[in-house]
A and B are shown apart, each in its own frame.
Chain A
């Protein structure tokens, strides 16, 4: 039987752009270019590698996001994913991490899955909790923050490098996996891949397809409320000296004046 892999991906504002908040304190998506979150490319890559090593596998990329989020799906499809699901609904605007994980979990269940693969965090929200939330909601093992992953005979194994120890993990499928940026360089889409992606199916679902009420998500339904967002004042200009043989000593003098020595 085919190994069904669902990769969750997010369309995020470019981190190298000038990111801002909109008036309702949600992320302003209009003024900054969006793209597939870099950390999700690693998830797509590992999904493709697992699929290539399986006798029969299908990789579906799933995103929850506005119209433009299709770009993130196209990128994943051009890397080699087989099909895509786009959950889009005006009522989703302002959904927080709890709501997003609810929508993703319902969509994953509807799509059918043996393995869910996510990135370690998004590059905009950066919470890094969606994989754990999905495992909890789906009631399947959580095998997260892996820098190495493989699947064999219905068992997923991987290495989780923590601060105090490196752990070798294993769990039976179905399971939720997340991979770090150490899991292996993500491939670039080939020209052939880009052309092929245009013909791959992108399914569109809205909240009613997932039996989710509008009140459960969106800004009003969010489990958290942002009261204010303040731009950090630019750091005041410091002293810059050019080393003419005494740079290290000058620096030591500064550190001493600040009581660090």
Chain B
């Protein structure tokens, strides 16, 4: 069976969920071969094996942490040359897309970014993308070279599919460009203890109606009652009420959770672009004319400062 290269996103050996979703999609096309680089790369193997990786190619060097993107491109290219895969799949993070794009130039291939689904086809893998602020869905394929495709989080279920997951050392020689951009300092983001925004099953977001940084505590309380991630509209972020890393929308993250709760968000195109594909959408807004109500499965016209705390209390009571 043809092999499919899967680039592993991990933190010191802990594999992130979108990579496991990629393994599910890779198995539709062929036999997954994972590529993990950087500190802790070898520790990814057991998790990857449980989810279908036949082989896990690993390499560690200080360059991966000390320089931006290019060392990882060199590694993925080395894996590509060693494996000659039928396709290369990379998680659609900011960095993942950059790695995939540079690899595509090097191997003379086309690239598809931000796929939300992937299936085998007669002329190679067919990728579904959600475009124009999710108002259209397109199906595309790479028509030149080996398909390089980046896939968004929450695009496939994580499935147990035990495989060998044999660890093999990957030989990587770094290119002249590898040390071009130095990471002079790195400040890790403080963990909030909440799920990653793009990976969360439930997202609770606040917008202009939250009316102040301090008031986001009631959004966070609702999120915590549901084990959800916290999002914010551009208006709330631009006002400085919540960090940009939590922004949902065209210039922030695009999310596709099982449940999206929008509080005090009007639903401008900028925001809709980032959440329109959520499975179930719920909104609380004072303005009954707010465009967000066109999208909802359930909406409450009312004051979020009344409705949200009551909802939080009720959820806690029901959960006991």
User: Residues of A at under 8 Å CB distance from B?
Assistant: 15-16, 19-21, 25, 39, 96-98, 101, 120, 123-124, 126-129, 131-133, 135-137, 139-145, 147, 157, 160-172, 175, 180-182, 222-232, 234-235, 238-243, 245-252, 254-256, 258, 260-261
Contacts and interface: CB of A to CB of B under 8 A. Distances in A.
Contact of A165 (B136, B186, B308): B186
Contacts of B132: 19-20, 124
Contact of A228 (B139, B280, B312): B139
B95 A240 contact: no
Interface in B194-208: 196, 202
By size class, the interface of chain B is: 35 or more
Contacts, number: 259
Give the most central of A97, A131, A132, A167: most B CB within 10 Å.
Answer: A132
Contacts of B134: 232
Contacts of B315: 252, 255, 261
B217 interface: no
Interface string B276-320: 100011101000100001111111111100111111111100110
Interface string B124-152: 00100011111111111111110000000
Interface of B: 11, 68-70, 73, 93-95, 97-98, 100-102, 104-106, 109-114, 126, 130-145, 177, 180-189, 196, 202, 226, 244-245, 250-251, 258-259, 269-270, 273, 276, 280-282, 284, 288, 293-303, 306-315, 318-319
Contacts of B102: 132-133, 135-136
22 contacts: A15-B273, A97-B101, A98-B104, A120-B251, A128-B97, A129-B97, A133-B105, A137-B105, A142-B98, A144-B69, A163-B245, A164-B188, A168-B185, A168-B186, A224-B112, A231-B136, A238-B296, A240-B301, A248-B307, A251-B314, A252-B311, A261-B315
Given A238-B297, A251-B300, A97 B111 contact: yes
A230 B137 contact: yes
B184 A169 contact: yes
B180 A140 contact: yes
Nearest to B309: A248
Contact of B141 (A132, A224, A252): A224
B301 A242 contact: yes
Nearest to A248: B310
B98 A132 contact: yes
B137 A132 contact: no
A139 B94 contact: no
A134 to B, nearest CB: 10
A154 to B, nearest CB: 14
Contacts of B69: 132, 142, 144
A247 B181 contact: no
A32 B288 CA distance: 29
Contact of A171 (B135, B182, B259): B182
B141 to A, nearest CB: 6
B181 A141 contact: yes
Contacts of B97: 127-129, 132
B114 A126 contact: yes
A225 B310 contact: no
Contacts of B313: 248
A258 to B, nearest CB: 6
